[in-house]
Amino acid sequence: MGNQINLSNQNSPLKQSRGIEKVATEIDGLDDILKGGLPAGRTTLVSGGPGTGKSLLGLEFIYRGALSGNPGIFITFEETKENVRQNAFTLGWDLDTLERSGNFSLIEGQVPPNILLSGDFDLKGLLAVIEGKAREIGADRIVIDAIDILMRFFNDPKEQQDEMLILHKWLTDQQMSAILTVKSANDKLSSEYSYLDFLADCVMYVDQRIRQQVNTKRLRVIKYRGSSYGANEYPFLVSDRGIHFSPISEVEMTYQTDSQRVSSGDRLLDAILGGGYQTGSCILISGLTGTGKTCMANIFARSACEKGQKVLYINYEESQAGMVAGMESLGIDLLPAINESALEVLSMMPESMGIEAHLFYIINALRRFQPQHLVLDAVSACKRIGGESAAFDFLLRIVDTCKKMNITAVLINQAEGGPAGHDFSGIGVSSIIDTIISLQYRDTGEELNRALVVVKSRQTRHSNKYHQYVLSDQGIQIDPGSVEKH
Amino acid sequence: MNYSSDADSGNEEFAFQLFVAGEERHSDEAKQNLIQICESHIKGRYEIQVVDVFKSFDLALENSIFLTPALIRISPRPQITIYGTLSDTEKVLKAVGIEGN
């Protein structure tokens, strides 16, 4: 079987790391964990329980490779070709076109459960098929999903091992970068398949856990011969485009200036607050529609960005364009900050994904962008993600992450009315909030004015007076007469 | 001779495809066993096409042959597949629908 498959495909992103060549998976975040990718020309084992994403991981490896011009084969013993195509389709992956381009081959390894047997047999049929296909399309990548289904045909454990050795030897001779998936209940391969561990140069384990209504999938590299690797458990998410791993960041703490305070963007508001916002604290701006909450948050964002700081703005209420236009009419120009990448707006619909996905995107964005401040617009919209209790968990996680990273979190809340006008939409988050600013309407019978009051601000001497303000095309203008000089 | 409704009626033609993996031990055994069975039971009315999976991987793929050796009874219908060296004659006869003597 002398095949001359050329490994040095000019499109192949091989990386050197401690002497071994690697093949990038191009799966978001995974290559960082693997310090470059999978071992080139060697076998990787992905083990895990059902529904943990092993098949998808393998498929995405082949899919992304094919997209970059590296032909690959995906053999499924788990599903039908049609199912694989359908599942891929929901991720926006067009496998049909890829197949026609000759960079991808999907093989259905159908062997019925009750096969008729008489005498000895072996896996050479499989080898012939993959060898033929690999030669036909010039493939140097292959995924076999799942190897344990194949192994089941051999009752005798020694036979199983022999066959696997033959398969492994063939894969190595052909210099195929291979992923074999295997079902496993925990991160120790059952004794049945422990020999697979010896064959593979890289072994990864995936599992999924449900904790506090949040379903998390995690990956852990158990071994990687000849290479260093990220040794933690890495949460990942299957989005509507594929698998995403949380980016690794060595530095969890963002670089904060020495001062403990940051300006709210308005001198008078700073005085009312007793010196501005405390960096790394959690501030709630609450009020009815039209009271100017978003305006206040953006005055802060713009001011911080002007000082060279970064702000991540999570917008559940409107698009970036809508927000920019709205603020422009109030005299607040966000474009310079946006254009300098100091202000990043993540605009999302709460209903678009589940809690864990929202958390994932936001926490990922915090780690990647490393802003000094976060604005969440609005807390009240979070209930639309998955109900009140889930919304509370969600907020808790976000605020917790911000505190750990010393990021100032400004939460905007659409109040639902009530005597003091600062009820917090029924979500009991007040315990984790350090500062509450309530924006209210004051109906004098003749005029409808606006007034703000600092309901609380931990560890600060703040004003407890109502301060009238006006919203106009000059932004928020607080009545200076009401403000005592601190 | 007794004939069950399923079995060979004495006139039927049998067509087989035997998938083997090159020239090696299992392949030889399967070929030998198959020829022996056919000569002994359905002499003169069988046809065997030997397919080397390494030479015709397309055919193997079409028929989902991943384990070898593999015998497909093409006719009479329906198609039946048996895997292995065909060492158990009785089993093969039964599976393939040839009445034993």
More confident residue, A218 or A330: A330
Written as six digits, the tokens of A356 are 């864990």
Do the beta carbons of residue B91 and residue B33 sit within 8 Å? no
Rounded Cα gap, residues A81 and A104, in angstroms: 13
Cα-Cα end-to-end distance for chain B:
8
Given this model, what pLDDT does residue B58 score?
93
Do the beta carbons of residue A347 and residue A285 sit within 8 Å? no
State whether A133 and B61 contact (CB < 8 Å).
yes
Pairing of strands A282-287, A311-315: unpaired
In this complex, the residue of B21, B33, B87 whose CB is nearest that of residue A125 is: B21
- DSSP-assigned beta bridge partners for residue A181: A46, A145
> Which residues, at least 6 apart from B29, have a Cβ–Cβ distance to it below 8 Å?
A119, A120, B69, B85, B86, B87
The arithmetic mean of pLDDT across residues B66-70, rounded, is: 93
Q: Looking at the complex, report in whole angstroms how far the Cα of residue B49 sits from the nearest Cα belonging to chain A.
A: 16
pLDDT at A11 over 80: no
- Confidence grade of residue A252 (pLDDT, cut at 50, 70, 90): very low
Peptide linkage before A146 cis (omega within 30 of 0): yes
Which residue of chain A comes nearest to B59, CA vs CA?
A129
State whether B88 and A109 contact (CB < 8 Å).
no
Element (H, E) at A306: helix A293-306
State percent of chain A over pLDDT 90: 50
- Confidence grade of residue A2 (pLDDT, cut at 50, 70, 90): very low
- Confidence grade of residue A52 (pLDDT, cut at 50, 70, 90): confident
In this complex, the residue of B54, B65, B88 whose CB is nearest that of residue A118 is: B88
- DSSP-assigned beta bridge partners for residue A448: A443
Rounded Cα gap, residues B95 and B73, in angstroms: 9
Which amino acid does the sequence have at A436? I
- What are the tens digits of pLDDT across the range A418-435? 544 344 444 556 667 889
State whether B66 and A123 contact (CB < 8 Å).
yes
In this complex, the residue of A108, A125, A131 whose CB is nearest that of residue B67 is: A125
Every domain of chain B and the residues it spans: 21-85
- For residue B22, the chain A residues in CB contact (below 8 A) are 124
More confident residue, A350 or A58: A58
> What domains does chain A contain, in order, with CATH numbers?
14-245 (3.40.50.300), 261-482 (3.40.50.300)
SS3 A207: strand
Do the beta carbons of residue A475 and residue A455 sit within 8 Å? no
- CB-based burial label for B72 (10 Å; 0-12, 13-18, 19+): middle
Given this model, what pLDDT does residue A462 score?
85
Rounded Cα gap, residues A54 and A48, in angstroms: 7
Which residue of chain B comes nearest to A116, CA vs CA?
B82
State percent of chain A over pLDDT 70: 87
State whether B61 and A115 contact (CB < 8 Å).
no
The arithmetic mean of pLDDT across residues A18-29, rounded, is: 87
Element (H, E) at A401: helix A388-404
More confident residue, A153 or A423: A153
pLDDT at A258 over 50: no
Do the beta carbons of residue A38 and residue A227 sit within 8 Å? no
Tell which residue, B101, B89, B90, has the closest CA to residue B30: B89
- What are the tens digits of pLDDT across the range A98-138? 999 999 999 998 777 778 888 889 999 999 999 999 999 99
Peptide linkage before B69 cis (omega within 30 of 0): yes
State whether B92 and A118 contact (CB < 8 Å).
yes
- For residue A126, the chain B residues in CB contact (below 8 A) are 66-67
- Planar angle of CA A7, A8, A13, nearest 5 degrees: 100
The arithmetic mean of pLDDT across residues B66-90, rounded, is: 92
State whether B70 and A125 contact (CB < 8 Å).
yes
Do the beta carbons of residue B3 and residue B9 sit within 8 Å? yes
User: Sign of the CA dihedral A414, A420, A424, A426?
Assistant: negative
- What are the tens digits of pLDDT across the range A342-391? 999 999 888 887 777 888 889 889 988 999 999 999 888 887 877 777 77
Residue from B18, B34, B66, B96 to probe the interface with A (highest A Cβ count within 10 Å): B66
- DSSP-assigned beta bridge partners for residue B18: B50, B71
- DSSP labels, B39-94: HHHSTTSEEEEEEETTT-HHHHHHTT--SBSEEEEEESSSPEEEES----HHHHHH
State whether A122 and B26 contact (CB < 8 Å).
yes
Written as six digits, the tokens of A352 are 């678009």
Do the beta carbons of residue A453 and residue A467 sit within 8 Å? yes
The arithmetic mean of pLDDT across residues A267-289, rounded, is: 91
Given this model, what pLDDT does residue A484 score?
63
pLDDT at A5 over 60: no
Average pLDDT, chain A: 85
More confident residue, A249 or A387: A387
Rounded Cα gap, residues A311 and A408, in angstroms: 9
pLDDT at A326 over 50: yes
CA dihedral A149, A155, A156, A157 (to 10 degrees): 30
SS3 A266: coil
- What are the tens digits of pLDDT across the range B42-59? 999 999 999 999 999 999
Which residue of chain B comes nearest to A153, CA vs CA?
B67
More confident residue, B12 or A110: B12
- Confidence grade of residue A231 (pLDDT, cut at 50, 70, 90): confident
In this complex, the residue of A107, A109, A124 whose CB is nearest that of residue B21 is: A124
Which amino acid does the sequence have at A344? E
State whether A116 and B83 contact (CB < 8 Å).
yes
**For helices B89-96 and B25-41, angle between their N-to-C axes, nearest 10 degrees:** 60
pLDDT at A464 over 90: no
Rounded Cα gap, residues B15 and B8, in angstroms: 13
Given this model, what pLDDT does residue A175 score?
93
In this complex, the residue of A116, A117, A129 whose CB is nearest that of residue B61 is: A129
- What are the tens digits of pLDDT across the range A385-421? 777 777 777 887 888 888 888 899 999 988 876 544 3
Written as six digits, the tokens of A472 are 């106009």
Rg (CA), chain A: 28
pLDDT at A29 over 70: yes
Rounded Cα gap, residues A55 and A47, in angstroms: 10
State whether B87 and A117 contact (CB < 8 Å).
no
Could you tell me which residues of chain A have a Cβ less than 8 Å from any Cβ in chain B?
1, 107-111, 115-129, 131-133, 150, 153
Given this model, what pLDDT does residue A189 score?
63
Could you tell me which residues of chain B have a Cβ less than 8 Å from any Cβ in chain A?
19, 21-22, 26, 29-30, 33, 53-54, 57-58, 60-61, 64-70, 80-88, 91-92, 95
In this complex, the residue of A107, A117, A121 whose CB is nearest that of residue B68 is: A121
pLDDT at A485 over 60: no
State whether B60 and A128 contact (CB < 8 Å).
yes
Do the beta carbons of residue A422 and residue A431 sit within 8 Å? no
In this complex, the residue of A119, A124, A133 whose CB is nearest that of residue B53 is: A124
State whether A125 and B29 contact (CB < 8 Å).
no
Which residue of chain B comes nearest to A128, CA vs CA?
B54
Q: Looking at the complex, report in whole angstroms how far the Cα of residue B1 sits from the nearest Cα belonging to chain A.
A: 25
Length of chain A: 486
CA A167 to chain centre: 36
Which residue of chain B comes nearest to A126, CA vs CA?
B66
Which amino acid does the sequence have at A217? K
More confident residue, A16 or A193: A193
Do the beta carbons of residue A279 and residue A261 sit within 8 Å? yes
Given this model, what pLDDT does residue A77 score?
92
Given this model, what pLDDT does residue B87 score?
93
- Least confident range from A19-33, A105-119, A299-313: namely A105-119
- For residue B57, the chain A residues in CB contact (below 8 A) are 128-129, 131-133
> Which residues, at least 6 apart from A208, have a Cβ–Cβ distance to it below 8 Å?
A49, A51, A52, A53, A215, A216, A217, A218
Rounded Cα gap, residues A475 and A450, in angstroms: 13
**For helices A157-173 and A124-137, angle between their N-to-C axes, nearest 10 degrees:** 20
Rounded Cα gap, residues A233 and A25, in angstroms: 18
State whether B58 and A132 contact (CB < 8 Å).
yes
